[in-house]
Structure 1
C-alpha cells in the first residue's frame, strides 16, 4: 500500500514538471529589449519663450534734424528690445506745451512725452503723469544735478527723467567791444559799461546794434539780466517782495528800456548771421548753437568769444528737458525701459557730440576736461548743484507772463514802471 502511494506521488510530480517546463524555458518579458532604429529617435523640444509685445506711442518736441537723430537711437533700441514696438512722432517745440496740455486734459496723451523741466510739476500736480522713479537705472539717480531734478519732484516722487540741458550764453564780437570800450576791457561788463556800449552803438557811423536777443523769449532775457546784474534770476519769479525794483535788476532793465531802439530782436538762427556781419556787439544764444558755430572753422568769425561766466552763479536757468510718462499709459514697464535707453551714458555722449547739448550726469564733468571747464561736477557749490528758489507748479504761468511783459517793453508798448506795477498786482492777489 505504501509503495502505491509513493508511486502515485512520483507520477504526479512528473506530470507537473512536464506541464511547467515550457514556461521555465520561455524568455522573461521584463528582460526583453526591443531596439528602436536610430532614425526613429525623438529629441525633446522645449516650448518657445513667448513674450508679450508692448506698443509705445511717444511724442517729442524737437526740430526735424534732432528728430532724425532720435529716430536712429530708437531704431537701435527696438532692435535690441524686440518685445517693444515704438511709434515715434514729432511736435513743433513752439506748440508743444499747448498740445501736450490739451491731450492730457482729454486723456488722449502719448505714453511718453518730452517736456521742458519747468512744465513737469504742473503736469504732475494736475494728475497727468505717472511717477518716473523706476526709470532711473543703476547709478543714474545719484548722477543727477539738483538744478535738473528739483523741478521734477512733487509729493515725494520724481515725475521725469532728465535728457539734457542747454543754458544760454553770450557771444561777443571782441573786435567791436575793444573799439567801443578800449583794449583793456574785461568781461563781464558792469552796468555802466553796458550803458556806454549801448550809446556807442547809437553813435556809430555804420548802423550797429549793441545786443541781439529774442524779444519774446523769457530765458534769453533772464540770461542777459544774470550777466549784467551779476545775480541769480530765479528769485525774480518768487511771490514775495518786489524783485524788479532796485538792485540788482532795475538798472539793467531800465537800460533795455532806454536803448531798445538799438537792440535787434532775432531768433537764435538769425543771431549768428548778424555776428558774422560784424554789426552786432553781443548775442544771447543757447550754448549748443554757440558751440556749434564757433567750432566751425569755415565760419570766418575768429573775433567771436563765448562768455559763460554767469554759469558761476549759484543758479541759472538750465533749460533742461525730461521724458515723462502719461497717466493714461498702459505700458509703464516698457516706458521705463525706453526712457532708460534714451538717457543712458552712451545716449548722452552721442547727443553731446551731435547736438552740443550738455549731459546730465555729474561724472562726465568730473572726467572730461572740456566739460569741467564749463561746469563743476560733484564738488562745485554753485550751478548746477543747487536747486532753484522757486519750485511751484505755477512757474510756467509766471514765465509766460514774463514773456508777455518783455515783448511789450521791447516793442515800446509798456514802460518799466508799468512792468513793475503789472507784475506785482497779481502777486499781491496771490498772497
Structure 2
C-alpha cells in the first residue's frame, strides 16, 4: 500500500515539474497586474544588440538645432539607437555645462567651444577620445584644430567645425586711399589707417568690428602685422611687430566703428555694402545670411601668409567622463562630423568644416574658395589652450573694448594683450 502511495506521489511530482519546465510559453512576459502579455519574438542573431540611449547637449540657434535634430533622427532610424538632444542658450552654455560636469550629471555628449576643452579635461570631466572614437583619423583634420583639444598627451574632443575671422572690404574705397588691395605689412597698414583717419567722417569710423569680442580685436592686431610668433619659439614679451601694431592702432582709434550688438552690426554692414565704410572684421558664419553686394570682397583665410593669419573659433564634440555609452556616442559623433555632414552644415550655418576632405569640390564647390583641400598650412592662428583661457578672454574683452573706444591707454592695453598671448609651457 505504501509502495502504491509512493508511486502516486512520484507521478504528481513529475507532472508538476513538467508544468514548470521551459516550453512554448517561454516568451510570455508578466505585466504589473500579473496577467500574461502577448508572446514576444526573440531577435535574430544578427539583430541581438542592446539599444544605446544617450543624451547630447549643444548650444545652437533654433534653425541649426532643428537641422541637427533632423540629421539625428535619420541616424537613429538607421542605427536603431536613441539620442536625446538638449539645446542650451549660448549665454548660459559654459556655466551650465561646467556645473553639470562637476556634479557628474551632464549629458553623455557635449558640443563645446574649443576654448573650454582643456579646462574641462584638466578637471577630469571628459573622456580622452582614444577611449571611444574610431572615426576619421587625426591626419584628416585641418591643420592646427586638433592641437586645441590636446592636453597631457591625449585628445579630449573631436573637432566639428571652425569659424575663422575674415576681412570684408570695399576695393573701390581702398583705391581712394591709394592702395589696390589690403596691405601685406605693417608699413602698409600704417599708411592706410592714417589716410582713413584723415578722411573719416564725423559720424564715426570706417573700419568696423565688435570691440567687445576679444577674438575680433586679436584678429585685427594679427592681421595688421602684430603676429605672436613668440608662441612658436617660447620667448617672452611682445615682439617688435606686436608693439608696432599696437602703436598703429593707438594712433588710428578714431577710424574704428564698434559693432557690439546686432543693430550696430546691421547698420555697419549697410554702410560697408554701400561704400560708406571701407572694411570690417567678421566671422565666416556671420556672412552666411547677409545680403552680399557684388562690390564687396572677402579675404579668404586660405590665401593669407602665415604671419597674417587671424583667429578661428570652433566647436568640438566631447564625451563626459561619467558616460558609459561610449559606443553609441562614438557612432553618433562620427556621423555628425563626417565630411558630408560638415559640408551640409556649411550650407546652413556658414561654419567651415574641420575635415580637409570636405573642401573637395565633390562635397561643396563653394568651400574650395576658403581653404584648399590639399593645404598643409594652418588657415588661422589659435591661442595655445590653457585651463584658465575662458576667464582670461573675458578679462581681456574688458580691456580691449576700453582701448578701442579710447578709454584705456596704450601701455595698459599692451600689458593686457601680453597676458592673453604669452607663451604657454
Alignment TM class, shorter chain as reference: 0.7 to 0.9
The residue number in structure 2 matching 1:376 is: 372
Q: 1:72 to 1:425 in 2, by over 3 A?
A: closer
The residue number in structure 2 matching 1:107 is: 104
Aligned-pair CA distance for 1:366: 5.4
In structure 1, distance between residues paired with 2:140 and 2:287: 26
In structure 1, distance between residues paired with 2:231 and 2:119: 19
Q: 1:426 to 1:274 in 2, by over 3 A?
A: closer
Q: 1:345 to 1:94 in 2, by over 3 A?
A: same
Aligned-pair CA distance for 1:323: 0.5
Matched, 1:241 2:236: yes
Of 297, 306, 312, the match for 1:318? 312
Of 49, 65, 74, the match for 2:63? 65
Of 198, 203, 207, the match for 1:207? 203
Alignment deviations for residues 179-230 of structure 1 (CA, whole Å, 9 cap, x no partner): 3x13x5222362222322431343x3x735221101111111122122211x
What does 1:190-229 align with in structure 2 at a 5 Å threshold? Answer: 190-202=188-200, 204=201, 207-229=203-225
8 Å CA contact 1:135, 1:337 repeated in 2: no
In structure 2, distance between residues paired with 1:156 and 1:414: 40
Gaps of 5+ in 1: 1-44
Of 43, 52, 55, the match for 2:53? 55
In structure 1, distance between residues paired with 2:145 and 2:85: 25
8 Å CA contact 2:207, 2:257 repeated in 1: yes
Of 141, 147, 151, the match for 2:148? 151
Matched, 1:265 2:258: yes
Instruction: Tell me the TM-score normalized by structure 1.
Output: 0.76
Q: Secondary structure at the match of 1:163?
A: strand
In structure 2, distance between residues paired with 1:167 and 1:427: 18
The residue number in structure 2 matching 1:418 is: 412
8 Å CA contact 2:227, 2:242 repeated in 1: no
Aligned-pair CA distance for 1:423: 5.6
Aligned-pair CA distance for 1:74: 1.2
In structure 2, distance between residues paired with 1:234 and 1:393: 22
Aligned-pair CA distance for 1:53: 3.0
In structure 1, distance between residues paired with 2:386 and 2:355: 25
8 Å CA contact 1:220, 1:285 repeated in 2: yes
Q: Bigger radius of gyration, 1 or 2?
A: 1
What does 1:274-293 align with in structure 2 at a 5 Å threshold? Answer: 274-293=271-290
In structure 1, distance between residues paired with 2:348 and 2:229: 30
What does 1:25-36 align with in structure 2 at a 5 Å threshold? Answer: none
Q: Secondary structure at the match of 1:110?
A: coil
Cα root mean square deviation, aligned: 3.2
In structure 1, distance between residues paired with 2:388 and 2:95: 15
Matched, 1:188 2:183: yes
Q: 1:234 to 1:59 in 2, by over 3 A?
A: farther
Alignment deviations for residues 360-381 of structure 1 (CA, whole Å, 9 cap, x no partner): 222233556654443233453x
8 Å CA contact 1:268, 1:285 repeated in 2: no
In structure 2, distance between residues paired with 1:366 and 1:235: 34
Moved more, 110-119 or 247-256: 247-256
In structure 1, distance between residues paired with 2:416 and 2:281: 26
Matched, 1:392 2:383: no
Alignment deviations for residues 121-175 of structure 1 (CA, whole Å, 9 cap, x no partner): 1111110101123554454433113311011112232110110111010111223
In structure 1, distance between residues paired with 2:288 and 2:381: 26
In structure 2, distance between residues paired with 1:173 and 1:427: 31
8 Å CA contact 2:339, 2:357 repeated in 1: no
Count residues with an aligned counterpart: 371
Of 99, 103, 119, the match for 2:116? 119
Instruction: Tell me the TM-score normalized by structure 2.
Output: 0.77
Gaps of 5+ in 2: 1-39
8 Å CA contact 1:237, 1:398 repeated in 2: no
Q: Secondary structure at the match of 2:318?
A: strand
